[in-house]
Amino acid sequence: MNAERRFRLGVLGSGKGSNFVAIADACAAGRLPAEVALVITDVPDAGILDRACERGLRAEYLPPGKFRSKLDEEAEAAYIAALQAAQVDLVVLAGFMRIIKAPMLRAFPLKIVNIHPALLPSFPGLESWKQALEYGVKVTGVTVHLVDHGIDTGPIIAQAAVPVEDDDTPESLHARIQRVEHELYPAALARIFAGDLKIEGRRTRRVPAA
């Protein structure tokens, strides 16, 4: 991807959409060379739909099909078709609560990015802030990574640490993590758009232009 043009983002989300808001507002303010081309949700009353509509962005609910933790075959084909029709350069998962399977990975190779509320490889999966509290770590964090065939296993773009306080509840820790997410996700996307990331296995590094 080169830095001259505006990248077209397809955002998938299932929840309140605070990360989407951080990204959409960074695009609107010119802090990212990108625009949100399409928002898709698998939850008909998800907050992310309202946040997109308030901003005049195209957003739609697409039924996920018969499974709980992934899109079924027909649904996945519909998601891919919608993203391709919107000519997105990058698929941005912003609280999308379903596993991405092979057809979408093939349609968007190394072009699907996710934010995870922990310092991977610690605490993959669901409710990572609760896992961190239960384990008793003193530092957790946020990871932005490319999506591969595993669960929260893809190449890491950016990470930031978040302290765990003695009196934290799951809610207070998640709120602190989310404040960091809203900074880190746009910053990680900026790294991707800069176009000089080299990906070797799970490792990404910046390669200065020759």
Assess 95 for contact with ligand GRF (CB under 6 A): yes
Q: Which stretch, 30-38, 67-75, 83-91, 113-121, contacts ligand GRF (CB under 6 A)?
A: 113-121
Three-state SS at 95: coil
Three-state SS at 41: strand
DSSP H or E stretch at residue 120 = none
Q: How far is the CB of 160 from ligand GRF (least distance, A)?
A: 12
Tell me how many residues contact ligand GRF (CB under 6 A).
14
Assess 17 for contact with ligand GRF (CB under 6 A): yes
Residue 186 phi/psi, 5-degree rounding, is -60, -35
Residues involved in catalysis: 116
Cα separation, 140 vs 170, whole angstroms: 12
Place of tokens 């998938």: 12
Place of tokens 């968007």: 108
Assess 204 for contact with ligand GRF (CB under 6 A): no
Assess 202 for contact with ligand GRF (CB under 6 A): no
Q: What mask, x for binding ligand GRF by CB under 6 A, covers residues 65 to 94? A: -----------------------------x
Assess 18 for contact with ligand GRF (CB under 6 A): yes
- Pick 143 or 204: Cβ nearer ligand GRF: 143
In the complex, residue closest to ligand GRF by CB: 95
Counted residue by residue, the chain has a size of 210
Q: Could you tell me where the DSSP H helices lie in 2-93?
A: 18-28, 47-54, 73-85
Q: What mask, x for binding ligand GRF by CB under 6 A, covers residues 168 to 197? A: ----------x--x----------------
**CB neighbourhood size of 51 (10 A):** 20
- Torsion over CA: 114, 116, 119, 125 (sign): negative
Q: Which stretch, 9-17, 29-37, 80-88, 196-204, contacts ligand GRF (CB under 6 A)?
A: 9-17
Cα separation, 86 vs 65, whole angstroms: 22
Q: How far is the CB of 82 from ligand GRF (least distance, A)?
A: 20
Q: Which residues bind ligand GRF (CB under 6 A)?
A: 13, 15-20, 94-95, 115-117, 178, 181
